[in-house]
Structure formats: structure tokens, C-alpha cells
Chains A and B, each alone.
Chain A
Amino acid sequence: MAETSGLVQKLSVGQSFSCAWIGPTPTNTELLLVTSSGSAADAAFAGSLVDTLSAALTNYRAVVAVHGDHDAKITALRIDPV
């Protein structure tokens, strides 16, 4: 698993997936995705991930997003203490 850390520079919430641009500056970001398989549990998890990302974005809090080595789907999200 890989980790991408930094501020959430941009967040886009869409019907099939949401996009988060994460990195130290607006010009140095990695695009990661929040997707859902459609099950109730997975949908709730995806919604919570987006809520967390939007809270981090608006409050200038850095996040650590966990995703596969070769894919951009966020599987875990962490906000460490500052």
C-alpha cells in the first residue's frame, strides 16, 4: 500500500466517484479517488471519506491517504495530530 500526504488542495464530489487532489501545494498534487461498490456499507464509508476530506480541506489540515501501489482509490484516510 502507498500513502499520499498533504493538504487537500481541491475536492470534487460526483455521483459515481469523488476526486481529491492531495499534496503540499496546488501545483504539486496527486489525484486520488473515492468510489463505492454500491452496497450500503461501502456507500456510507465513501460518504464518510468525502466528509473527512472536505473538513480537512476547509480547515487546512493535512491528511494521509492510503491507496494501492498502482491505483488511486483511497482505502483509508488519516488526519494526524498537529
Chain B
Amino acid sequence: MAVTTGFVQRFTWLKGGPTACVWVGPSPSPAELLFIQILPADSPSTVAFKRAMVGLLVKAQVTGREVDVGHPDGSAEVTSVATTSCNPSQTPLQLDAIEITQAVQDLAQAVPLIARKRTVVRVYLSNYASAPATVRGELRLRRGPSDPPLILPSLNTTVLDQAQAGNPSAARTDATRSLNFVLPDSHTGPGPLAISIADVTDVVSGNPVAFGCDRRPSVWFHASPPLRVRIVGFRYAQGMPPVTYTPTNLDFQMLLSWLGRAYPVSQVLSSTGLVDATAPPPFGCGDINAQLAALRALDMSSGGDQRTHYYGLVSDGGFFMRGCAGVPYSTPDPSAVGSGPTGPGTWGWDFDGTYGDWYGGHELGHTYGRLHPGFCGETQDDLLRYPFAHGQLANTDSSFVGFDVGDPVLNLPLTALRGTQWHDVMTYCNYQWLSSYTYQGIRLRLLAEAALPASTGPGAPSPGGGGRPDERYPGPARIEQTAAESAAGETMISVVARVNLTKRQGKVQYVHPVPGASISHVVDESPVSLRVVEQGDRRSREYPVEVRLNSELSPADDREGLVDAVVPVTGTARAVELLIGGDVADTFEPAREPPAIRALRAVGTDADGVRMAVESEQPIEQSQSYAVQVSSDGGRSWQTIGVGLREPTFTLDRAHLPEGRDLEVRVIATNGFTSREVRHESLRLSG
């Protein structure tokens, strides 16, 4: 009787017989071809036995387990299959498991791996010898059978103690108890990756150490869309004398880093901005979300990518603003916005200098359709039965463990997050990270959003910025007027309103013309409508509109939410009414045509940036306001850095604008239905 020991390199089921062909060996070549054939004369018992052998061989192949395959000396027909013995008395150093993790994972590799995402391979070893050993190791990586292997050294050494042997569950909760390897970008692209241990070395002696119970897993990296997000900081002044509060650069950096580490994405396509809050402090997240929705609507009508999520950051220096967001639960809708507080508070567990990262992860999670699973004092909105007790990442330490892959730029280390201690980011519990449940949910939503068009409609510029060369050639500063009217004489306007369905109250907060936009968030039925009232006896038009309720409402709270819709108005429209339950809750009446703007000038610079002033023929009136936009791509797309402004001055913040690049700045004066614009070109911020 012979035994062939090795890894299942290849497996084929053939109809003839039927016959299972299996190639077993230390590597794809050489490997020995063996077979299991089911014969017509086989008894049920024999068929079951052969099927069980095939089952074990297949599982051994897909999980990289070594097998002993028995067969007669002169035959390749398999007569027995066994996983190889892990014999610590022969080889005191034993390989317990290999885990490939990006944010959360179990040893069965149940969480799909995202291509190009920072990936850590954790190797768990046990030392059954009485003397402890300190080891380092090297991995061998291959992307295909003919691929030359890449040898990758471990980031760390680890101390292996007999008392801790044979307990990978405990080792998984401590990043220092595994050998950790950060995979290079070249080996995390879409497709397969075969992983094996090239060697383990005793750090003290420098000698290689033999190990038993080898495993050689293969994994698959899945292409995944990026996270597209614009983070807008809100500046406010409070107190006497007034003190100005803004989120710090660290708040922005840590939030973006956290999203890249915790969310199922390889890339965070981001931009940041800083704007003045139009509502007086202490404002609420509903005020900020309304302003953010207005900002976004202007950005989208000016070439922005429709798949971009917007999030508002508010410093807690002056007061604590509880966060909230819109929740597009059933349909992908990146226009849902959210906002939340940030500051250096630790909450007793977060010591990285800011809590705006996980707090932002929670509110942005809502904008990806995630609901509260109902733990630690929150209302249970997610009725799909969150799978783990108490909102934890896992029920036991032998299943899912969170893992923060760290950020070298921000000096954040690799950190294991015990599944029974850490909680899902959509809960109100401490120790927040993404559970496998939320990770998968956001991944599916990202895929659905990726299928949405990037641009809004016929008026949006193409991403490549095409067009007649003479029209694209940058000219001197010029003054323009736009009516934002379509050929049919209709103007699309963005209307942002806050509503309280319980009290049947509401307020139209922002109205702007949005050239090129399409009608949006108009639904068949809704308790809330926008009615465009015409002059004279012309018939008014009514548009039922979607209401996005505040994500953080408890059953006792009023049903408060946001209306963020685009509707058409004609040149004869005289007002937009906000109707709740059929009653008029608020009316927006545009003022006269906005004043012509003569010029836009830089009037000074300081450490924060450039102070700009608008010169117009007359001051703006009630129901008129300014919006300010900046372009760093020659006017192909614009980002709004001010909206609802009543004063003709503003600051271009150095920290949130690209240095050393030509910027265009434009100011739009609007009465809600029409607008006038002035543009200042070729402004450059230096460091």
C-alpha cells in the first residue's frame, strides 16, 4: 500500500464512470494523478464511501489542507483519504491557521476580499516545546501556477509559548500573537492568490525551524467600486467675544482613513471643503443636512459625480451636535446626506485623537441604506435580525474578528478587534467597527450605486471635458449671466426643505436653479408636496416628493426629515409652496431678479486663505443669496464652498483647496428661480 502526501492541486469530475481525477503533490508540478471511480456494481455503502473521499479531497483543495491519499502500490485508484497528522511530539512547531483579513474575517474566509484593499495575512503558530521561541517568517505568494513566487517577509516577530499552544482563537484577538504580512499591491488585484509559508526562522539562532500541519490557502480578490465621498467641514462662531470653531485637519484625515480601513473598498475617492454654517449655533444636524443637500445639488448640476456621498463634519468645540442622516433603505441613492460631530473625545475607548471617524462611519452607513440593528439604546430599525448578540462583531472569539489594517501615514498600527468586545458601527455601543453583516451590506449597496450614471443629464459636462476648443480655451476673467432655462422655457430648481410630519410643519430652506438637472425625488404618493404656483389664473402644478426621515429618531420623537427635490418651474411661476398633509406649511416667493454682479476680487490673504469680495450693483434682498463655487479642472466641474450666503465676502480656505493649481472661482447670486454669475479665473494658492 502506498500513500501520496501533498496538497490537492487540481480536481476534475469526468462523466465516464463517473470518475474523479485528483492531482496531489507539493506544488502544481510535480503532482501525482490519482482517481476515484464509481462503478455500476458498487454497493450503496461503497458509493457513499467514495463520495465521502471525494468530498474531503475537494474541501482540502479549496481550503489548502494537506492530505494523505492511500492507493495500492501498482495503482492510482484511491482507497483512503486522510488529512495529515498534526503531530506536535514530532514537530513542536505547528501551523494552526492562516487568515487573510482586510477589516473583519473568520477562519473559514467567509468575508469576500476586495481587490486592491490593504490586506493582512495572519499566520497562527503554536509551539509545543517547553522553551518559548521567538520567530519570524516568510510567505510565498503566487497568482497562478506559472507565476514566479514572491517571497514576503513578516512585519513582526512573535513569541510562541507552550502555554498558549493550540488556541488560535485567543491568538486572533491580539495582533502581536500572529505573524503578520501586508500583501503588496501587485498581489491584491482581481483574481486568485495562492499563499504558503516559505519558512519560519528562530530569531535568536537565525536558523530555520521545521513546522507541521502545513496549510496553503488560495483566496480570490473581488473587484469593487470605490467609495466616493465629499467631506464638508462646517465653520461656526459662538460666544462673546465670538470664537470660531472648525474641524481640524486630523478630523478630516482620520475620517477618510477610517473609511478606507473599515469600509469594503480599496479606494476612497474624496474631496474636502470648509463652509460657513448658515444656521446660527447651536444648530442641529437637520440644519446642516439641509445646507449640505443644497451644496450637493449645486455641485451635481455643475459636473459633479452623482455617485458621490456628502458628509458634514461639525466641531464639538462650541457645542455637541448629535449626528443624523437620510436613509435610502430600499433603493440606492447617493444624494442622501449625513452629518455628525467631531472632536478629541475618547468616549472611554477611542484614543486616536478624534471620534469623528467612527461617528462619520455610522452616519455615512445610513446613507448606504444601513439601519440600526437595535443595541445599546438605539431604536431597532433593522428588522432583518442582526446575527450577533448585543450588537457584537461575533458571538464567540472562534468566529469573526475585526482587524484594523492600520495606516502608516497616520501612524496607526495593525490592531485586532475582538469580536466579543467590539460592536457593529450601526449600533450605539462603544468599540465600533464594521461587522461582517454591515460590511457585506455596504458592499452590495456600493455595487448597486456603481451601476448608477455618473452624470445627471443632458446639461452635465462630460467627464473628459470635451467641447469646442475655442469655448474651452481659458480666457480672461469674465462676467456671465445665466437664466438656467431649458429650451422649453422651464427652469429646474432644487428645493431643500425641513419638515416635521408629526406637527405638520415645515420650512423651505434653500431654492436654487440647477441647470441641466433632472426632476428628482418626485414620487407617486407622499404626505408632502411641492406646489409651483403660477401667476394669474394659470394652473399650479403639484409634485409629491420623497421625505427622508432623520436616521436617529426614537418612537417618541417627532417624524422630522428632509425634502431634497428638483422640480421644474416656468418663467411665469411666482412661488413654491410646501404642502404637508394638503396644508401649506411654508411658501417660498422669489425676490426680484438678483442684482448684476460687477466683479469678484481677492481683497486679502492670511494664514487660512484668500479673502474674496463680491461687487454688485446693489445689495441682495431678502430671499436672495450668494453661492460660491470653485473649480480646479478648468471649469469642467465645480465644488460649492458657500451657499445661502447673505454677505458679499467669503474666504477660500487653503487647507481644502489644491495648492499650486489654477483655480477658478465663481459667485452665483440667485433669487431661487434665476441667477447671475461672476467668474474669477486663474487664482493660485501657494503653500
Please give the residue numbers on chain A whose beta carbons come within 8 Å of chain B beta carbons, in ascending order.
9-15, 18-19, 24-28, 36, 38-40, 42-44, 46-47, 50-51, 54-55, 57-62, 81-82
Contact A82 B88 (CB under 8 A): no
Contact B45 A38 (CB under 8 A): yes
Contact B166 A58 (CB under 8 A): no
User: Which one of B153-161, B267-275, B392-400 is at the A interface?
Assistant: B392-400
Known contacts A10-B84, A15-B80, A24-B167; 8 additional CB pairs below 8 A are A13-B81, A24-B166, A54-B52, A54-B60, A58-B60, A58-B62, A58-B63, A82-B396
Contact B82 A12 (CB under 8 A): yes
Contact among B44, B65, B166 for A27, CB-based, below 8 A: B166
Contact B394 A82 (CB under 8 A): yes
B128 at the interface (CB under 8 A from A): yes
Contact A43 B47 (CB under 8 A): yes
Contact among B56, B87, B107, B213 for A11, CB-based, below 8 A: B56
Contact B83 A10 (CB under 8 A): yes
B505 at the interface (CB under 8 A from A): no
Contact among A24, A26, A40 for B44, CB-based, below 8 A: A40
Contact among A14, A26, A46, A51 for B80, CB-based, below 8 A: A14
B108 at the interface (CB under 8 A from A): yes
| Chain B positions within 8 Å of A12 at CB level | 68, 80-83
Contact among B86, B94, B126 for A10, CB-based, below 8 A: B86
Contact B86 A59 (CB under 8 A): no
B53 at the interface (CB under 8 A from A): yes
How many B residues, CB 8 Å from partner? 45
Contact B107 A43 (CB under 8 A): no
Contact B166 A13 (CB under 8 A): no
Contact B165 A25 (CB under 8 A): yes
Chain A: which residue is nearest B64 at the CB level? A58
Jot down 13 A-B pairs with beta carbons below 8 A, ordered by A.
Answer: A10-B85, A13-B80, A14-B49, A24-B167, A25-B126, A26-B86, A26-B94, A27-B128, A40-B45, A42-B45, A51-B55, A58-B60, A60-B106
Chain A: which residue is nearest B62 at the CB level? A58
Contact B83 A57 (CB under 8 A): yes
Chain A: which residue is nearest B88 at the CB level? A27
Contact among A11, A19, A26 for B88, CB-based, below 8 A: A26
Contact among B47, B56, B94, B395 for A13, CB-based, below 8 A: B56
Chain A: which residue is nearest B97 at the CB level? A60
Minimum distance in angstroms from A1 CB to a CB of chain B? 24
Chain B: which residue is nearest A7 at the CB level? B398
Contact A60 B44 (CB under 8 A): no
Contact among A19, A38, A60, A81 for B107, CB-based, below 8 A: A60
| Chain A positions within 8 Å of B622 at CB level | none
Contact B167 A13 (CB under 8 A): no
Binary flags per residue of B72-96, CB closer than 8 Å to A gives 1, else 0: 0000000111111111100000100
Contact B167 A25 (CB under 8 A): yes
| Chain B positions within 8 Å of A24 at CB level | 166-167
Contact A82 B49 (CB under 8 A): no
B48 at the interface (CB under 8 A from A): yes
| Chain B positions within 8 Å of A47 at CB level | 48-49, 51-52, 55
A27 to B517 alpha-carbon distance, docked (Å):
68
| Chain B positions within 8 Å of A28 at CB level | 166
Contact B82 A10 (CB under 8 A): yes
Chain A: which residue is nearest B81 at the CB level? A13
| Chain B positions within 8 Å of A39 at CB level | 44-45
Quick one: given A59-B63, A59-B107, A82-B399, are A13 and B45 in contact (CB under 8 Å)? no
A46 to B43 alpha-carbon distance, docked (Å):
14
Quick one: given A12-B82, A15-B79, are A58 and B65 in contact (CB under 8 Å)? yes
Binary flags per residue of B95-111, CB closer than 8 Å to A gives 1, else 0: 00100000000111000
Contact among A13, A60, A62, A82 for B53, CB-based, below 8 A: A13
B59 at the interface (CB under 8 A from A): yes
A11 to B65 alpha-carbon distance, docked (Å):
11
Contact B44 A13 (CB under 8 A): no
Minimum distance in angstroms from B177 CB to a CB of chain A? 15
Chain B: which residue is nearest A24 at the CB level? B166
Contact among A13, A26, A44, A62 for B213, CB-based, below 8 A: A26
Quick one: given A36-B48, A43-B48, A44-B44, are A61 and B81 in contact (CB under 8 Å)? no
Contact B52 A18 (CB under 8 A): yes
| Chain A positions within 8 Å of B213 at CB level | 26
Minimum distance in angstroms from B11 CB to a CB of chain A? 14
A77 to B106 alpha-carbon distance, docked (Å):
22
A28 to B680 alpha-carbon distance, docked (Å):
77
Minimum distance in angstroms from A66 CB to a CB of chain B? 19
Chain A: which residue is nearest B44 at the CB level? A40
Chain B: which residue is nearest A47 at the CB level? B48
Minimum distance in angstroms from A58 CB to a CB of chain B? 4
Enumerate the 3 nearest inter-chain pairs by beta-carbon distance, A residue then B residue, closest first: A25-B166, A47-B48, A12-B82
A19 to B52 alpha-carbon distance, docked (Å):
12
| Chain A positions within 8 Å of B55 at CB level | 47, 50-51, 54
Minimum distance in angstroms from B41 CB to a CB of chain A? 15
Chain A: which residue is nearest B84 at the CB level? A10
Minimum distance in angstroms from A13 CB to a CB of chain B? 5
Q: Please provide the chain B residues from 459 to 479 with a CB less than 8 Å away from any CB of chain A in the complex.
A: none
Minimum distance in angstroms from B218 CB to a CB of chain A? 13
Contact B83 A46 (CB under 8 A): no
Contact B97 A11 (CB under 8 A): no
A31 to B463 alpha-carbon distance, docked (Å):
65
A78 to B430 alpha-carbon distance, docked (Å):
34
A61 to B65 alpha-carbon distance, docked (Å):
15
A8 to B595 alpha-carbon distance, docked (Å):
79
| Chain B positions within 8 Å of A9 at CB level | 86
| Chain B positions within 8 Å of A11 at CB level | 56, 82-83
Minimum distance in angstroms from A9 CB to a CB of chain B? 7
Minimum distance in angstroms from B296 CB to a CB of chain A? 42
| Chain B positions within 8 Å of A40 at CB level | 44-45
Q: Please provide the chain B residues from 124 to 142 with a CB less than 8 Å away from any CB of chain A in the complex.
A: 126, 128
A62 to B398 alpha-carbon distance, docked (Å):
9
A68 to B94 alpha-carbon distance, docked (Å):
32
**Candidate in A18, A43, A50, A54 with the most chain B CB atoms within 10 angstroms:** A54
Contact B59 A57 (CB under 8 A): yes
A14 to B398 alpha-carbon distance, docked (Å):
30
Chain B: which residue is nearest A60 at the CB level? B107
